[in-house]
Amino acid sequence: MNQFQAEIIDPAVKGTLNVLRSCARVDSIKRVVVTSSIISTLFTGTPLTPDVIVDEMWFSDLDVCKELKHWYAISKTLAEQAAWKFAEENGIDLVTIHPGLVLGPLLQPNLNLSMEMILKLIQGSPIYPSPYRLVDVRDVAHAHIQALEVPMANGRYMMVGRVTHDNEILKFLCQNYPAMHLPEKYVTVTLILKCCFQLHKKISEWFSFLRSEDYKYEPTYHVSQERAKSLGINFMPWELSVKDAIESLKEKGFLHF
């Protein structure tokens, strides 16, 4: 725990407070927009079944996060809590943005964690379990601008365009990027189980099935978009976000096909 406290939790909390302290000393700063994460809302102990809608009233439970050893979730939850406490005590007009997995074109030459997750999924070594909470980087940027400029903006804003499984992403890639030649060894455990126990198909036939119109993605929970849309956010289709992410990864030399 001490290692994660020093490497993940302390930098998140102290970094957030350092910025807010600087803002509090400048009279011309009227509002502060903090980039938080969907992670600070999800870990409540409530099963995330298809009938669940996660909204701005959800707050991750630190005890649940500790039990799961989800140190990143702890860091984002504590950082947000510290931000709201400081804002209240110092009269700061605070807004927090809570994006999911941010996809789209890369500006920088190096990979960020979100794009690395998609790259690893394509390469057959996913570093984060499904489902994925997708949002376009351009929507996230727009939300920050709106949160700063719209006078009535306040509180928390969830930023997730689509909650989906790796199955659906892989289907899209198979249909739109056949030149990738995604091999059988990249099939995830979820796909193997479905193949063996539900569809009774050979592994070699799975990607053909993904390309077909017969395949349907598994239902997931939902993330509310109501407050985000009140800021004027019209979420881009997740397929466009994935497509632009793939093209950007190819342009930057991370993908070759």
Residue-level pLDDT at 183? 52
At 227, is the secondary structure helix, strand, or coil? helix
Residue-level pLDDT at 230? 96
Residue-level pLDDT at 203? 47
Catalytic residues: 76
What gap in Å lies between CA 76 and CA 54, rounded to an integer? 17
Q: How far is CA 231 from CA 96, 148, 156, 162, 214, in A?
A: 13, 10, 11, 18, 37
Region of 94 on the Ramachandran plot (φ > 0 left; ψ -120 to 50 alpha; else beta): beta
Contacts for 185-194: CB closer than 8 Å, 24+ residues apart: 185/124, 186/122, 186/123, 186/124, 188/126, 188/130, 190/130, 190/165, 190/166, 191/166, 191/167, 194/167
Count of positions (residues) in the chain? 257
pTM of the model: 0.85
* Residues with pLDDT less than 70, the chain: 1, 183-219
- What's at 142, amino acid-wise? H
